[in-house]
Structure 1
Amino acid sequence: MARNASLSGFPEWLPEERLVELHVLDTLRRIFELHGFSSIETRAVETVGQLLRKGEIDKEVYGLSRLQDEEAAGAKSDPNALALHFDLTVPFARYVVENAGYLAFPFRRYQIQKVWRGERPQEGRAREFTQADIDVVGDGELPFRYDVEIALVIAEALSALPIPDFRLRINNRKLSEGFYRGIGLTDTAGVLRSIDKLEKIGAEKVAELLKSELGATDEQANAALSLASIQTTDTSFVEKVRALGVTDDLLEEGLSELEAVVAAAVDRAPGKVIADLSIARGLDYYTGTVVETVLVGHEQLGSICSGGRYDALATKGNRKFPGVGLSIGVTRLVSRILSQEFASPSRAVPTVVLVALSDEDSWRSAQDVAAALRSRGISTEVAAKADKFGKQIKFADRRGIPFVWFTSEDGTHQIKDIRSGEQYDADPTTWMPAAEDLTPQIVVKTADAS
């Protein structure tokens, strides 16, 4: 069970909790690398001007200054002031531009790092958290097939984690913007921001926003909400949209792209993707495919994975680097795994063997045993002091160490499995534990997790 952090919004893990997080991270790395994504790391600090180029999120950005900096209060108005990054996509765009001469395009990257965001702490929302991103970026152009591939990679990665069933809810902003344009709403970005609030405030209040802030008529507001109500598990959304009677070239382009993503998902990741035309994504840099992901039965947690297509986030003069990517909220996922006990480690420490001390003079020979075991990849500790053997065994048990090693005065060795009580002769140069004991195993809850 995850503990409440003593400093709200900045979670810390106990050793056994950290093992679950490491399992999630290792699984994501393995899947991402299987698909040819290279790992990078960007700096934690960007300029305010860089962070705020796209999307109004200035209230969430943590400025960076020295405690005695008298000018810190005005830092956000200075584009050269420094701030902690709030996501990994904007810094990645800067990284691509600055390193374009060293990268081979299309460039496939994954990135797993901490980010900081000044949100009100609550379940699923922290001020410091880990994200795991994958992106493909092109030089000048990026074929749409990568939108499809990214969705399939994420579906595979999430399927490998000890979490409940999930759904990728996918839309296309070209579809939405073309539709709004077709019904006469020209501030399409404003409409998207209003629709993005649909689950938080409800259809009635969104309609009021569309009318009061964007000048929509009742008919236009109703049409926009009708589009947002369409959800299908297959490509039947295409006919549902066309049945609304709106025509626009951008709408048709978005329909075609979304149809391609959903058709591929039905074939290669059946049951994992929903065409959900209410998905908008609040950040302005998305230009096509947009994705949000929820755990089935845990929708109140919010999106655990989101992102989409961005065609103009990374630019250098007339040169553009279009990309598509998705970001997994690792901390949000791990918090839910721990709180619901979807998975737990078989033991709390990596240690396999505790080498017992018969007396204080045996410490040197115990180190020799430990070195022999470690040379073959067996995690080993030496007891802190020569307490009675029963006390040393109890210490190992409290730590979750499965084996205790004993060396007799005549130089012979025995090892005790303190789980079963079995004790037998062993040689430190040849003994090996069972494969499942070499490292802590993540035990997944077998009952219905939802």
Structure 2
Amino acid sequence: MARNASLSGFPELLPQERIVEQHVIDSLRTTFELHGFGSIETRAVETIEQLLRKGEIDKEVYAVSRLQAEEGAGDASLALHFDLTVPFSRYVVENAGYLTFPFKRYQIQKAWRGERPQEGRAREFTQADFDVVGDGALPFLHDVEIVLLAVDALSALPIPEFKIRVNNRKLAEGFYRGLGLEDTAGVLRNIDKLEKIGAEAVARLLREELAASELQAQAALELAQIRSADLSFVDQVSALAERHNVQNELFDEGLAELSSVLRAAITRAPGTVIADLSIARGLDYYTGTVIETVLVGHEALGSICSGGRYDALARKGNRVFPGVGLSIGVSRLVARMLSQNLATASRAVPTVVYVALNADQDWAAAQDVAAVLRSRGIATEVAVSAEKFGKQIKFADRRGIPFVWFLGEDGNSQVKDIRSGEQLAADPHSWQPAEAELRAQVTRNSPAS
């Protein structure tokens, strides 16, 4: 980032940085739509009751109230949403009669969370979510579809290599029950801390908080240490289950589902998707496939794309709307791209052409030229004073504008590429820059050797 924000946790971008962020957003939008996902937007505020009904996050929520609210107005019960999943579940319930299921949605919006700011974690940030929601049931193949869409969406971005780490909560919960550990949510919450606090600390928590035996704790940790980019994990998991005499239908179902995800990924994105049995996702509403994604070489940044299957997050009476989806941390990604110079915008402005003035009275004629260029999709600015051509060219160069247009008598204009110095005769009705010049280009930078 170019400078520190004056209000901690609420970053602002310079124009060239904003171009990088917009490129990421535009690329994601294009990929989502190519896969048939439609765009929605939900309101920024929800009721506090709605936000807090899943998970213990009350300290992270920003409450909303009016400075001069009337007594009893009820505004104190509102808060800014801290993610897009909870608002989306409400949206589905309230609009179920107008939606066609399975409903495929993507949503790129701001969210707010009052946690301690650090790189990759801001208090105001942008997320890009994509989900498939069913009415009553949702075929498992949508889990596979979501993973493959994540591969396509992230592969289109100017970012380093990434790994999508996949597990299945059914597999894990069934294994724990087979061991005799009934508080599966508690086990999962502790396993989710594995990378942060280490195996020994997790084992201690399992013994102290959940009354797990040494054998049960070690078996749970053994499962969490299995990972592979191929189907070899199936034999490893099966052997571990046999050794501990784990027999559970939920375990068998989860193992089959995870195998299906890996089988599809091996065919379409070999080496990118990894079965990682340590992935737990701490939120209780996940019921099947769970996913986290890391940038290779930037693992300390944390997950850049995470989520999974949720079968009961959205309900309307006896009607249940199961879903599966992921959230890409746009702000987290962009912050790392900028701080590590992983990607660069070719210029800080959209302008392609700067029309210079021979004299102040030429401004109207310059606007005519600009209007023709703009009608053809060429972003154009017009000088406001007839300074020396050298100063006008220097101004365009400082702005990052590649071409300067010089008006000529009887319409005989010329255009100069101020990077190469090449100057040619030009007609605004037919002159065309290279395709790559029409928009600021964002390119991935090679890592320093």
State the TM-score, normalizing by the size of structure 2. Answer: 0.96
Q: Show the 5 A alignment for 1:169-208.
A: 169-208=165-204
In structure 2, how many angstroms separate the alpha carbons of the residues matched to 1:357 and 1:79? 55
Contact 1:41-1:112 within 8 A present in 2 as well: yes
Partner SS state of residue 154, structure 1: helix
In structure 2, how many angstroms separate the alpha carbons of the residues matched to 1:449 and 1:37? 37
Q: Which shifted more, 324-333 or 433-442?
A: 433-442
Counterpart of 1:114 in structure 2 is: 110
Partner SS state of residue 384, structure 2: coil
| Among 159, 166, 181, the residue aligned to 1:163 | 159
Deviation (angstroms), 1:156: 1.0
Q: Show the 5 A alignment for 1:252-271.
A: 252-271=252-271
Counterpart of 2:133 in structure 1 is: 137
In structure 1, how many angstroms separate the alpha carbons of the residues matched to 2:300 and 2:53? 30
Counterpart of 2:383 in structure 1 is: 383
1:222 counterpart = 2:218: yes
Contact 2:81-2:111 within 8 A present in 1 as well: yes
Counterpart of 1:342 in structure 2 is: 342
Q: Show the 5 A alignment for 1:278-357.
A: 278-357=278-357
In structure 1, how many angstroms separate the alpha carbons of the residues matched to 2:249 and 2:311? 18
In structure 2, how many angstroms separate the alpha carbons of the residues matched to 1:211 and 1:243? 24
Contact 1:343-1:444 within 8 A present in 2 as well: yes
Counterpart of 2:425 in structure 1 is: 425
AA of the residue aligned to 1:326: L
1:122-162 Cα offsets, whole Å, 9 max, x none, are 11111111111110000000000000110001011111111
Counterpart of 1:35 in structure 2 is: 35
Counterpart of 2:86 in structure 1 is: 90
Gaps of 5+ in 2: none
1:319-338 Cα offsets, whole Å, 9 max, x none, are 00000001100111111111
Deviation (angstroms), 1:68: 5.1
Q: Which shifted more, 61-70 or 301-310?
A: 61-70
AA of the residue aligned to 2:276: D
Counterpart of 2:239 in structure 1 is: 243
1:62 counterpart = 2:62: yes
Counterpart of 2:374 in structure 1 is: 374
AA of the residue aligned to 1:192: L
Partner SS state of residue 314, structure 1: strand
AA of the residue aligned to 1:166: F
Counterpart of 1:412 in structure 2 is: 412
1:189-208 Cα offsets, whole Å, 9 max, x none, are 11111111111111111111
1:233 counterpart = 2:226: no
Contact 2:108-2:126 within 8 A present in 1 as well: yes
Deviation (angstroms), 1:392: 0.7
Q: Which shifted more, 183-192 or 436-445?
A: 436-445
In structure 1, how many angstroms separate the alpha carbons of the residues matched to 2:428 and 2:31? 36
Counterpart of 2:359 in structure 1 is: 359
Residue correspondences, number: 445
Counterpart of 1:44 in structure 2 is: 44
Structure 1 runs (4+) greater than 4 angstroms displaced: 68-72
Q: Which shifted more, 40-49 or 59-68?
A: 59-68
Contact 1:2-1:335 within 8 A present in 2 as well: no
Percent identical pairs in the alignment equals: 74
AA of the residue aligned to 2:369: V
Q: Which shifted more, 126-135 or 230-239?
A: 230-239
AA of the residue aligned to 2:204: E
CA RMSD, 1 decimal:
1.8
Contact 2:65-2:75 within 8 A present in 1 as well: no
In structure 2, how many angstroms separate the alpha carbons of the residues matched to 1:68 and 1:281? 41
AA of the residue aligned to 1:86: F
Contact 1:48-1:79 within 8 A present in 2 as well: no
Partner SS state of residue 431, structure 1: coil
Contact 2:199-2:221 within 8 A present in 1 as well: yes
Contact 2:165-2:276 within 8 A present in 1 as well: yes
In structure 2, how many angstroms separate the alpha carbons of the residues matched to 1:171 and 1:343? 31
Q: Which shifted more, 234-243 or 135-144?
A: 234-243
Gaps of 5+ in 1: none
In structure 2, how many angstroms separate the alpha carbons of the residues matched to 1:198 and 1:84? 31
Q: 1:265 to 1:410 in 2, by over 3 A?
A: closer
Q: 1:30 to 1:200 in 2, by over 3 A?
A: same
In structure 1, how many angstroms separate the alpha carbons of the residues matched to 2:264 and 2:238? 21
Contact 2:9-2:124 within 8 A present in 1 as well: yes
Partner SS state of residue 49, structure 1: helix
Counterpart of 1:149 in structure 2 is: 145
